[in-house]
Structure 1
């Protein structure tokens, strides 16, 4: 299995997060403005929730691999909250040279911190890591469903 680069992976999830935000906004328009259906909120909300969780996990992995500053990482995470801001963040990170074309932690001996060792292990075992990420997204989505929709 060939891993996408940090740049390609982050760009993909940042774009997917913005697309699902758009679907949710269209669904909200149909539900609250035209009062025609709430199906768009149900479908768009579920898709957006799943992709939001994937975005957060991928952002943390790319953050650790790229040794981003805390400020940069927190900005990247928070950019998923307002609609479509992940697109701006992806461009900002890419222009600043913070989205690498290779995984630093894929090489043995690069990992220093416990978080880096976890990411490094996953990068060297991509199928197992992909499975773990899918399980994490499913589990966190389940927790979100039990918790219920955001207040409002």
Structure 2
């Protein structure tokens, strides 16, 4: 899967889970039909929100985005449906072009330890996937232990 397809897929999934969460909130707070929609929508959205942040950081390293663009990409997920215009803008600017940087080039940005780690992990896809999934689970578990935003309602 190319960097572009991965980013677009997770960006779309993030927007869809925003719709699920907002629908759950409307069901709970407007129609007063219970909080199951918020619980399910919130959990799924939380997972995909974290996955989007991880994907944005991964793409930032692979595509050699600067720290400002990487931070903007992560923050965009906070805005409902914000990942879609971000994806379109990155596409228009050619910032999703190219393949995974699995080999070192003469580009000075490929000489960093982070780029070397990315190449090492890309050469071990099963390990890389496992590390990403375990990271996602660890973050989600920590956030669930802390509790929902704004406290329990």
Aligned to 2:33: 36
1:82 and 1:56 mapped to 2: Cα distance?
A: 13
CA deviations on 1:2-48 (whole Å, 9 max, x unpaired) are: xx111010001111111011100000000111111211100000001
Q: Out of 94, 98, 101, which is 1:101 matched to?
A: 98
Alignment of 1:79-94 (within 5 A): 79-94=76-91
Question: Is the counterpart of residue 67 in structure 1 residue 64 in structure 2?
Answer: yes
User: What whole-Å deviation, never above 9, does each CA across 1:60-83 have from its counterpart, x for those lacking one?
Assistant: 010011111222111111100010
Aligned length: 148
- Of 31, 46, 54, which residue of structure 2 is paired with 1:49? 46
TM-aligned CA deviation for residue 108 of structure 1:
4.0
Counterpart in 1 of 2:117?
118
Counterpart-to-counterpart distance in 1, 2:65 and 2:98: 15
Query: Displacement of 1:109 after TM fit?
Result: 5.4
Is 1:127 matched with 2:126? yes
Aligned partner (choices 7, 24, 43) of residue 10 of structure 1: 7
Q: Output the TM-score relative to the length of structure 1.
A: 0.92
Runs of 4+ aligned residues of structure 1 deviating over 3 Å after TM superposition are 108-111
Mapped to 1, the partners of 2:144 and 2:111 lie a distance apart of 36
| Structure 2: gaps (5+ residues) | none
RMSD between aligned alpha carbons? 1.3
Q: CA deviation at 1:90?
A: 0.5
Contact 2:47–2:140 (Cα < 8 Å) also in 1: yes
Question: Could you tell which deviates more after superposition, 109-118 or 20-29?
Answer: 109-118
User: Residue in 1 aligned with 2:18?
Assistant: 21
Correspondence for 1:144:
143
